[in-house]
Structure 1
């Protein structure tokens, strides 16, 4: 614990980043034109589309596109999707009748110069059986009908491909005499098992952190009680938390965390690149080593065989006194972290990232504490506004959702930033990961751990206390986030938008109903909960 605490103090900006950088759940995110409304003939749901590429009868690659609001419903089964020969449009934009004769081929065109519906009508009239539109950007764009368009009865499927996929397909067509494609849209399961496991991971992490924090607080209270019995009141000062290696947040630092996180998020957005992700990986590895080391030492110290090693210390240059058990565990943690960093692109690397991440989150929630409900309200409220702004409102100034761009790691060549937990979607034909950012666990977790410390130090039962309801509220808020993600047509969702009102609203409402709100708001945790201490105060 001593080593971890010193490093947390020396890397305070990194700690603030972990506390306040909340990454949204990222699904398959596409850009949408919200101007044109649905209308008859142009009311399809947006669906992702698989486009396998066949060269001379052999499947060589597969691209992902997006279907249009108009056109027929796409086939959902690969075995039922016909192979179609694909040809280049002439002119390339397909805004006028093609010069080449079409007899059921799929036509590949460029975006621009006329509306999507116009391109589809021209291609269908020329005899094309499908239309592939190459976007002028690397992202996908949702194709809708213009406001004043009337001829929207399109009878051929229309799919948009990202710029890089379209370029690759054109290159294949130049180098091969026979290029064909399939077009189909597998249905995504309503709920994937990965989301269930990720929910359990997040809730379990907060649960473990809360009990560890409450146990530590109770042990500290027992030590204080012993000192009181022996008459050593001078040892009980306002700096007790700091002397025990704890970091107590105040109102100013809560606001600073969110401001710092916002500045860092903008820096990530502006400087997003491979080398910047590498720096974040190094920071994550340092924090992961400390978190894993702290958790392993705490667990091993509970066993009789390791008690002596945990209680024996040696002086280490720079770090000071470090237990022998910490020295023994540290090389294992460092090796584990380095292995993850080297092989983080492997298919099973998410397991190592989750282990390091969970250990780091538990350690942060053990060391960092909010003293009362007032500070918790300021922290969660600021984080709530932070999440909404950087996911939704930042589009007005940056033309893109800053949080989503950073979460996906756009332009870095990496699969997102490492400050998140993720699990591969198991039964989703589209693959990918279900993810949750550290901030979505740490920020509400600080409030939940505070509620259990209060219950234990106030000697409240589980039903009469606040932890049970705070824990249920967190789980419910996280569940609502997943529901919203599945209902919002693939749009990334800020988890704190749902979790903060659920947890904070539950605690404030319940405390007000029970008459504890004033005490929780200003005092928070009782400092001397032991019965004989209260008697001594009464006698005085």
Structure 2
């Protein structure tokens, strides 16, 4: 199909993709930002996520997630060291006054409100409780801290807060069962998860494939142009590669692109809902069908050359090859199946396939013409990433990009414009993710570097592609190191990727004396076949 007709879909999806970042999507971001709740003696625990595993009449049942308090004894990290204790309801329920009975080693469940958290814990401990579960009056988790005027705190039992719906489920268990017991522990996340390794490989391999396809197409176009110049005394008006139009980004459009992405990000933040996510799923499927079809046709045309070069006229769509007609139903079916089942656990496979195809196709269609445009684009994206991850908290009281990427306001797992792999060895589960923008934007520069190398006939070592590719891979690696050092807190990948990728390119260009050509023309000077042909004719006339 005519890719120019749907280029706006791809560009829209690229804009949407900028809202994503590499992160580990786990049970909330509540355990971070410790500085907002200062520590003091007796109230100096780190905020940690806590698993609350339940048993009904000795049979393992539902598991809930809570947050440990600043005060009390720390929660054990290993499941085998955690005790199974009987669960009971506090009486009175708010645990703000002396209980009517002794708890004798039970875990007591109390309601939030009426008095301080520390008061509830002290009263429960005095009555013999082994731990206290405080049920929030909202569906969200909450940080239990000590009041500024509280001193000499010495609470010797762990305290955990659970969301309102978890409390309702636990109360229902207690009412309908003869015995309910719980186990509290806070497992630590692994330093490195295999999901991050595969995600790194996926991002690097995607740029690698897209760059070689883009460079091969550019070289074929250059060869075709040379033939046309030899055969005719005119230069083609359109710049076409394999029937698909190339879109060159200008300096102005690079700036406007990031402005548009910011506007769309705020719109996503303000109007995020279930139906908004479903609309994005539809858009993603439209772009995914076109992209998957483009990639499959390009790949299969090597083996089915006749079908790829034989065309049939279809109303509205124009001339379409038989190979495209054969591939199109498969692509539509694949995208529809993914859309129907995109909430199931294994849907990430289909999402990654459509996403990789989309990224490769965009890098094939959209080009940066020179290093000047590449520098403006990546510099704006660099500032964009930092602002919407970190500085947006000052205006919106939360990180806009993190909220949108996680889909906090939609009841969904987040927007589909990202690559994701489940964290297989993380006790908290979740996904490692990377946004399309963190692959696409550096990919535009890396693909440009390989096109330049091939047109300049540079070897792999003497060219720029190898070093740009290495710089991107290293920058993404540093991103994941920072991500783990920050205990899974979302990091703006371009904060690390842009300085390495762009800095390497600019430094090498300056050192090798190619910076002026790279900055302005973006391609090496080639002898014009038309001039050579005219010169040969003049020599023949002289003879």
Q: Please, what TM-score do these two structures have when normalized by structure 2?
A: 0.91
Determine the structure 2 residue equivalent to 1:3: 2
Determine the structure 2 residue equivalent to 1:494: 492
1:315-355 per-residue CA deviation (whole Å, 9 max, x = no partner) reads 11111111111111000111111111112222221111111
- Contact kept in structure 1, 2:19 and 2:401, CA below 8 Å: no
The answer to whether 1:247 aligns with 2:247 is yes
Determine the structure 2 residue equivalent to 1:368: 366
The answer to whether 1:223 aligns with 2:224 is yes
| Aligned equivalents of 1:125, 1:71: Cα separation in 2 | 13
| Aligned equivalents of 1:535, 1:145: Cα separation in 2 | 83
- Contact kept in structure 2, 1:16 and 1:257, CA below 8 Å: no
- Contact kept in structure 2, 1:30 and 1:141, CA below 8 Å: no
- Contact kept in structure 2, 1:145 and 1:152, CA below 8 Å: no
Determine the structure 1 residue equivalent to 2:206: 205
Determine the structure 1 residue equivalent to 2:276: 276
Query: Which stretch shows the higher mean deviation, 399-408 or 133-142?
Result: 133-142
- Contact kept in structure 1, 2:16 and 2:265, CA below 8 Å: no
1:92-135 per-residue CA deviation (whole Å, 9 max, x = no partner) reads 44455445432222122344555544443333233221122233
- Contact kept in structure 1, 2:230 and 2:529, CA below 8 Å: no
Query: Which stretch shows the higher mean deviation, 221-230 or 510-519?
Result: 510-519
- Contact kept in structure 2, 1:292 and 1:360, CA below 8 Å: yes
1:5-53 per-residue CA deviation (whole Å, 9 max, x = no partner) reads 32124x3662442453334424324234523334455444433221112
Alignment of 1:141-540 (within 5 A): 141-235=142-236, 237=237, 245-303=245-303, 306-526=304-524, 529=526
SS in 1 for 2:4: helix
1:382-425 per-residue CA deviation (whole Å, 9 max, x = no partner) reads 21222222222222222222212221222323222111111111
Query: Which stretch shows the higher mean deviation, 393-402 or 455-464?
Result: 393-402
Q: Structure 1 residues 35, 95: CA separation in 2 closer, same or farther (over 3 Å shift)?
A: farther
| Aligned equivalents of 2:296, 2:172: Cα separation in 1 | 53
1:142-180 per-residue CA deviation (whole Å, 9 max, x = no partner) reads 444455543343321122223322232233333334322
Alignment of 1:42-191 (within 5 A): 42-112=43-113, 115-191=116-192
Shift of 1:517: 2.2
Determine the structure 1 residue equivalent to 2:541: none
Q: Structure 1 residues 361, 226: CA separation in 2 closer, same or farther (over 3 Å shift)?
A: same
Q: Structure 1 residues 13, 224: CA separation in 2 closer, same or farther (over 3 Å shift)?
A: closer
SS in 2 for 1:234: coil
SS in 1 for 2:55: strand
| Aligned equivalents of 2:531, 2:484: Cα separation in 1 | 52
Q: Structure 1 residues 192, 12: CA separation in 2 closer, same or farther (over 3 Å shift)?
A: closer
Q: Structure 1 residues 453, 50: CA separation in 2 closer, same or farther (over 3 Å shift)?
A: same
SS in 1 for 2:245: coil
- Contact kept in structure 1, 2:273 and 2:409, CA below 8 Å: yes
Q: Structure 1 residues 362, 18: CA separation in 2 closer, same or farther (over 3 Å shift)?
A: farther
| Aligned equivalents of 1:319, 1:144: Cα separation in 2 | 63
SS in 2 for 1:160: strand
| Aligned equivalents of 2:262, 2:100: Cα separation in 1 | 53
Q: Structure 1 residues 243, 358: CA separation in 2 closer, same or farther (over 3 Å shift)?
A: closer
| Aligned equivalents of 1:383, 1:536: Cα separation in 2 | 45
Q: Structure 1 residues 530, 425: CA separation in 2 closer, same or farther (over 3 Å shift)?
A: farther
SS in 1 for 2:61: strand
Q: Structure 1 residues 508, 147: CA separation in 2 closer, same or farther (over 3 Å shift)?
A: farther
SS in 1 for 2:35: coil
SS in 2 for 1:73: coil
SS in 2 for 1:318: coil
- Contact kept in structure 2, 1:37 and 1:147, CA below 8 Å: no
SS in 1 for 2:64: strand
Determine the structure 1 residue equivalent to 2:19: 21
Shift of 1:283: 0.7
| Aligned equivalents of 1:14, 1:521: Cα separation in 2 | 27
Q: How many positions carry a matched residue from both structures?
A: 534
| Aligned equivalents of 1:115, 1:36: Cα separation in 2 | 16
Query: Which stretch shows the higher mean deviation, 372-381 or 130-139?
Result: 130-139
Determine the structure 2 residue equivalent to 1:35: 36
Q: Structure 1 residues 443, 97: CA separation in 2 closer, same or farther (over 3 Å shift)?
A: farther
Q: CA RMSD in A?
A: 2.7
Q: Please, what TM-score do these two structures have when normalized by structure 1?
A: 0.91
| Aligned equivalents of 1:152, 1:423: Cα separation in 2 | 43
SS in 2 for 1:389: helix
Structure 1 unaligned segments of length 5 or more: list them. Answer: none
- Contact kept in structure 2, 1:8 and 1:15, CA below 8 Å: no
